[in-house]
Amino acid sequence: MKKVLWFRRDLRVHDSMLLATEGEVLPIFIFDTKILRGLEKRDRRVSFIFEHVLKLKADLKALGLDLALFYGTPFDVFTYLKTLGFDEVYGSVDYDDYAKERDAEIAEFMCFHSLNDCYLFEPHEVLKKDGTPYLVFTPYYRACKALYTQFYALEYKKGKQSLSNFNYSVLLGIQGHTLNPLHVTIESIGFEPLHVNSLAPQKALEIFTCKVDAYAEKRDFLDADATSHLSVHLRFGTISIREVVRFLVTLKQQGHTTEPFFRQLIFREFYAYLLYHFPRLAWENYKYAPPISNDAEAYERFCSAQTGYPLVDAAVTELLSTGLMHNRARMVVGSFFTKHLMLPWQKGEAFFAKHLLDYDASANILSWQWCAGTGIDPQPYFRIFNPYTQSLKFDKEARYIKHYLPILSDVPNACLHKEAYLLSHEITGYPKPIIAHESARKRFLNTFS
């Protein structure tokens, strides 16, 4: 049988489950018009993906293979491939709502093989004794550690494969029964090329070797580069989760402290696991019905980094200008959005989904529900981050704030952590706080109760 190898969240040749299959293969990547049509023409993710798809194509050629490129809906692409005699497709798992519907549609007329190449554990592997999914992270984490063996981090080697005959030199646009060969450029799919700054995954691992021991202590500090820079690579599979774990095992054997970072990798698994078992979390509250305001002005001020809260505005500016946001800042911003402004978490999630380079549906959705106090295993609804104490603790010298908000460069560092100063002083070009912290806290709690 001729097999289609559908690259999606696994844009690499090293340690690839797809490339471990054997026989006659057609490796493909689909620029899915259903996804692309909702994006802006300067979307960083499209440029990142396009660049890495071209790298994947070159890497496959070096192995004696190639990559067929398509522009259309997966349904139209596979309907066409079916006419060419392909009836088996292999693809890595994806648990968001659209991905599951898409794969189910293809599985109705193709033999679809799902490969667990994005995570260590499959959703039904880690269950409570009664067969139900865990709802709290710590017991889930303990269960994962008890289950984990070297098997979960084994490296997949390339199988014996022959390349199917196909025209690999074009980007094939497909709409219904119409075929339209296109030039292999990002402009052919309607987007503008952007350069996206990101460390290569191997370089990120190398640098992280010097950071891992202090990860637990420094990861929350906004003015310290203590994170791994691996999130975007794990999102798009330019590195395998197994390679990262093998890296940690080696570091642990050398005496490094690896548990805190491994725990974060399992948090990633937990959120994907929850979305798989509880798909309605994508749009529904699991617990509580938080007070909601539909203040359009507050929403616009948030989205344009004009709330008057320096840490919040710096974080939103980081997101808008780089496609990234520090994890500690994400928590503060999520709490501020849902509790200070009382805006629905779904709108915050959609805002992040629009701009995050490392956007992952499960991580983003569950993180926003955690901030709002509405999800599974959330922070308590009454826990409300104080952005001023957070910036004082994690950005004392205001380096992060002033980097992204140079308009505040002349304001004394200590004053950026003091609401009284921000409310009583005019700062040219920068607004006063949209609402006082204590007023916002009381308003939320009183409305909630």
Give mean pLDDT, residues 296-310.
Answer: 98
Predicted pLDDT at 231: 94
Query: How many whole angstroms separate alpha carbon 285 and alpha carbon 255?
Result: 43
Q: Which residues contact 274 (CB under 8 A, 6 or more apart)?
A: 133, 281, 362, 366, 375, 376
Tokens of 63: 């192995």
Q: Does residue 421 have a known ligand-binding role?
A: no
Q: What does the pLDDT look like over 187-236, one tens digit per residue?
A: 999 999 998 888 899 999 999 999 999 999 999 999 989 999 999 999 99
Q: Does residue 267 have a known ligand-binding role?
A: yes
Q: Does residue 175 have a known ligand-binding role?
A: no
Q: Does residue 112 have a known ligand-binding role?
A: no
Query: How many whole angstroms separate alpha carbon 336 and alpha carbon 387?
Result: 8
Q: What is the DSSP string of 267-315?
A: HHHHHHHHHHH-GGGGTS-SS--------HHHHHHHHTT-SS-HHHHHH
Give mean pLDDT, residues 378-384.
Answer: 84
* Rounded percentage of the chain residues whose pLDDT exceeds 70: 100
Query: Is CATH 1.10.579.10 the classification given to domain 296-448?
Result: yes
The pTM of the full predicted model, rounded to 2 decimals, is 0.94
Tokens of 174: 């497909």
Q: Does residue 117 have a known ligand-binding role?
A: no
Q: Does residue 271 have a known ligand-binding role?
A: yes
When pLDDT is cut at 50, 70 and 90, the band that residue 334 belongs to is: very high
Query: Is CATH 1.10.10.10 the classification given to domain 1-117?
Result: no
Fold annotation for 119-153+201-277: 1.25.40
Coil, helix or strand for 185? Answer: coil
Please name the residue ranges forming H helices in 122-279.
Answer: 137-147, 201-208, 215-218, 231-236, 241-253, 259-277
Q: Does residue 261 have a known ligand-binding role?
A: yes
Predicted pLDDT at 380: 81
Q: Does residue 437 have a known ligand-binding role?
A: no
Q: Does residue 71 have a known ligand-binding role?
A: no
Predicted pLDDT at 352: 97
Residue 34 has pLDDT above 90, yes or no: yes
Give mean pLDDT, residues 375-385.
Answer: 86
Give the chain's end-to-end CA distance (angstroms, integer): 62
The one-letter code for the residue type at 207 is I
Q: Does residue 270 have a known ligand-binding role?
A: yes
Domain ranges of the chain: 1-117, 119-153+201-277, 296-448
Coil, helix or strand for 442? Answer: helix
Query: How many whole angstroms separate alpha carbon 192 and alpha carbon 23?
Result: 37
Residue 379 has pLDDT above 90, yes or no: no
Q: Does residue 194 have a known ligand-binding role?
A: no
Residue 1 has pLDDT above 80, yes or no: no
